[in-house]
Chain A
Amino acid sequence: MSQDGMTDVPGLQPGHSRRNFIKGVIAAGATVSASAYLFRTTIMGQNDGMAGAVERLITLDVNGQQRRVDVLKNETLAMTLRYKLGLTGTKLGCDRAECGACTVTVDDVPRYACSVLTHSVRGKKVVSIEGLAKPDGTLHPVQQAVVDGQGFQCAFCMPGFVMATVGFLKTNPSPTREQLAHGISGNLCRCADYNKILDVMMVAADKSRGA
């Protein structure tokens, strides 16, 4: 296991930081391609010509930008965001739909990025934690409430909680504390800072209504 909790990537040279290597790939061209040694390539043909067959080179709408990406058919959105697009704010805790650390919104609905095939979000609006602030750096009201209230301890779970709250507030902008707790109950905090998280997220709801 490497420091950020993910399995080591086979094939990388020792001493060569994976993070820098990936950022380098991203900077190098508009199209981010999957290297055969980073991800296993598909064993079967690319396309057997039937209706519904899938191309690998696709365009994704991520954080308001159109991103051309080479996506494996068996690739999850969390993998694409973190390792193809460099958006490492989306965390992987369990990779099993059991913790919420990977929560992003897809067409404004909170989903577990570890349990979504990237190919299934084509044509949909994906927003990760990196896409919440305005281009001028102004934080989203939910982010601002978290900063002001310091609602987290280690904060590994924080991006997921923020995205879950942003999505939930779209369906219920004025929740009671109990409704909010139910609405963001698909996120775990290993530091068990739940009361404080709920405190700041209630403030976040206020700020979001004002914004």
Chain B
Amino acid sequence: MPPIRDVMPAFELFQPANVGDALAILDRHGADAWVMAGGMDTFDWLKDRIRKPKVVVDLGNVTELRGIKDAAGGLEIGAMTTLTSVADDPLVKERFPMLAAAALKVASPQIRNQGTVGGNVSQDARCWYYRAGWPCYRAGGNICYADTPTSINREHAIFNADRCVAVNPSDTAPALIALDAEFVIKRGSAERVLPAREFFVGPGIDITKLTVLQPGDLLTAIRIPATWAGKAHYFEKVRDRQVWDFALVNIAASLNMSGTTISEARLVVNGVAAEPYRLDAVEAAIKGKPRDKATADLAADLAVQGAVPLRHNAYKIPLVKALVKRAIRGEAEWATS
């Protein structure tokens, strides 16, 4: 643990009351501004003095960004909705139980009471070399400290690494991709709507970011279509301790059944690559197959094709296989909380 510091470095603080004011402030301050939602990913950066934004824009008073509402049988979730609200919401639990489960497994009760779904999907990598301020690729340098013969890289990537081997740490991101969600991003007077998957970027596109968000952008809402409401869902998170810890690997799956066979599926794994890792090949291969052991075994083998373990994370390969099998067979989770 770094030494405890008394206060964060100074910054100018804005607490706009609506989206319009927030966008104007972000536009005016550009790359000097830091968006703060619940702050649960933000405070470490500031306290450790690794990031020193001149301006912090606290969205806490922007009430129009909070809340969950029905949208033609799907849901629209404001970016500032807390993870506790997502986990407890009757409509989320009824239509998209896997999202409620994912939100409930983030961190700890106090963090969920304050952390937002917008912040959860937008959060930065947790690679400790990077978080400790080492000048690695992701920080704009030209070395990866996590991928050397002596690196400690138990939590790092097994797929699609490109110089950087950090992973996306979010629990809600894979669930939202598996539900075909869309992310609404505002900037000045413009608005764009991206499929959840396109919100995330790998190191090949931008090694310094996990998402497409640029200075001036505000994620305002997440829209979940009715498509997967009431279908078969599965979410499981494997972590060292059952509270606080990030996923070593998590999996989100939604399956549409016609009779006893799978007609359409989404399977997304996180904690294994810089982007939430969608198992396209598995989704295609299990179409028209029953939810049985043979399908699960086939899917598990396909899921880990192309995996490249580092020195300390080869365990993630059998872990991904096990989770894929359990998701396809719909096994009861062994952990209750």
Q: Are B7 and A74 in contact (CB under 8 A)?
A: yes
Interface string of B102-137 (1 = CB under 8 A from A): 000001111101100000000000000000000000
Which residues of the other chain, A, contact B12 by a CB distance below 8 angstroms? 42, 44-45, 48, 73
Q: Are A112 and B13 in contact (CB under 8 A)?
A: no
Q: Are B109 and A183 in contact (CB under 8 A)?
A: yes
Q: Are B113 and A50 in contact (CB under 8 A)?
A: no
Partner of A110, one of B4, B11, B110, B244: B110
Which residues of the other chain, B, contact A44 by a CB distance below 8 angstroms? 10-12, 54
A-B contacts, 12 listed (Cβ < 8 Å): A40-B9, A51-B16, A52-B22, A54-B15, A92-B4, A96-B43, A97-B108, A110-B109, A112-B110, A115-B40, A186-B243, A186-B244
Known: A50-B25, A51-B16. Contact between A42 and B109, CB under 8 A? no
Interface string of B299-328 (1 = CB under 8 A from A): 000000000000000000000000000000
Alpha-carbon gap, A96 to B111, bound state (A): 11
Chain A interface, >50% SS class: loop
Which residues of the other chain, A, contact B139 by a CB distance below 8 angstroms? none
Which residues of the other chain, A, contact B4 by a CB distance below 8 angstroms? 5-7, 92, 95
Alpha-carbon gap, A117 to B7, bound state (A): 11
Partner of B11, one of A9, A74, A92, A164: A74
Partner of B109, one of A51, A92, A116, A164: A164
The bracket for how many chain A residues form the interface is 35 or more
Known: A168-B109, A186-B111. Contact between A9 and B15, CB under 8 A? no
Q: Are A97 and B111 in contact (CB under 8 A)?
A: yes
In the complex, whether B189 has a CB less than 8 A from a CB of chain A is no
Partner of A96, one of B6, B13, B44: B44
In the complex, whether B72 has a CB less than 8 A from a CB of chain A is no
Partner of A120, one of B15, B47, B54, B243: B15
Which residues of the other chain, A, contact B84 by a CB distance below 8 angstroms? 109
Shortest B278–chain A CB gap in Å is: 30
In the complex, whether B264 has a CB less than 8 A from a CB of chain A is no
Alpha-carbon gap, A71 to B190, bound state (A): 36
Alpha-carbon gap, A41 to B7, bound state (A): 11
Q: Are B25 and A52 in contact (CB under 8 A)?
A: yes
**In chain A, residues 178-198, which have Cβ atoms closer than 8 Å to a Cβ of chain B?**
178, 182-186
Q: Nearest CB to that of A115 among chain B residues? A: B43
**In chain B, residues 1-60, which have Cβ atoms closer than 8 Å to a Cβ of chain A?**
1, 3-17, 21-22, 24-25, 28, 36, 39-40, 43-44, 46-47, 54, 56-58, 60
In the complex, whether A140 has a CB less than 8 A from a CB of chain B is no
Which residues of the other chain, B, contact A7 by a CB distance below 8 angstroms? 3-6
In the complex, whether A155 has a CB less than 8 A from a CB of chain B is no
In the complex, whether A159 has a CB less than 8 A from a CB of chain B is no
Shortest B37–chain A CB gap in Å is: 11
List of 8 A-B pairs having minimum Cβ-Cβ separation, nearest first? A186-B108, A52-B16, A73-B13, A52-B14, A51-B21, A74-B8, A42-B10, A186-B110
In the complex, whether A57 has a CB less than 8 A from a CB of chain B is no
In the complex, whether A79 has a CB less than 8 A from a CB of chain B is yes
